[in-house]
Amino acid sequence: MIVGVDVGGTNVDVVCYDGNFKHVATYRTKDVVENLNDLLKRIARDLKAEKIGIGFAGWIRKGRILKAPNVKVSISFDLPVPFRVENDANCFALYSSHELGFENLMGITVGTGVGSGVVVEGKIYRGRGLAGEIGHWFVGGDRKCTCGGRGHLEAYFGGWSFESRGMNPRELVESGKIYDLKDFETFCLCVANAVTLLDVECVAFGGRIGGALSEEVLKERIGRYLMPEFDTEVRVIKDPLAVAKGACLAVME
């Protein structure tokens, strides 16, 4: 029995895996984050878990959380079974690779913020640990990001950015107004640049906002900035538990 946990800026999702995935629970991050370690201990005991994979919305190097811009509480884990803490977008990318059957894939999550992970030949590519953070690419301007930097992509595109400017993310997506934003065009340009750098087979989108975007619109807008030789597939993963499932796969990797 493997337990997978997605610790995001808004929600904490828990699944278990014994050959099949099963949703265990979903909590509001703000309600459980201060006692998250105790909660996971209890879940591990109740489910008789052998391992726990934790997909965490933060910058992780050698298992240590360096920064978590969208999770406002310092967290450390001390669990009774073997566990692994992995960047949440890396978990999403790994799950997408397994689900879609592409060994070379970039996964992009858009929820509270913007995350991205890279899978090369079926395995997560980490660099020194922080590879794939396109949400913190500099795109211009002086708008402050939650990480402390300025002019980052995430400062213009994503849940907290929209809300800080009086826009409702769900309404933006459901109405289609998100596609008219200059910030959406900037987002697509960043994705296209990443595709040109990596030449992956597929870019998969997920998360509360990313999982609700149109594949057709994404493919057309990203394609505007690509040479025709870059024929990368564009897929949208609508599974809200994708990160938690990917955390199960990561701890088994």
Higher pLDDT, residue 54 or 63: 54
Is there a single domain that holds both residue 81 and residue 114? Answer: no
Burial class (CB in 10 A: 0-12, 13-18, 19+), 228: exposed
Is there a single domain that holds both residue 80 and residue 119? Answer: no
Band (pLDDT 50/70/90 cuts) for residue 72 is low
pLDDT in tens, 175-191: 999 999 999 999 999 99
Is there a single domain that holds both residue 180 and residue 230? Answer: yes
95 domain residue, yes or no = no
Is there a single domain that holds both residue 216 and residue 248? Answer: no
Q: How many domains does the chain have?
A: 2
- Give the DSSP letter of residue 50: S
- The H-assigned helical ranges of 33-140 are 36-47, 88-100
State pTM to two decimals: 0.94
User: What is the token pair recorded at 20?
Assistant: 């099949």
Is there a single domain that holds both residue 170 and residue 71? Answer: no
Is there a single domain that holds both residue 125 and residue 165? Answer: yes
Is there a single domain that holds both residue 114 and residue 215? Answer: yes
Residue 27 belongs to domain spanning: 2-90+242-252
Alpha-carbon span 47 to 238, nearest angstrom: 27
Facing residues of 21 across strands? 17
Is there a single domain that holds both residue 77 and residue 126? Answer: no
- Output Rg (C-alpha) for the chain, integer angstroms: 17
Pairing of strands 2-7, 114-120: unpaired
Q: What is the CATH number of the domain that holds 58?
A: 3.30.420.40
Pairing of strands 2-7, 11-17: antiparallel
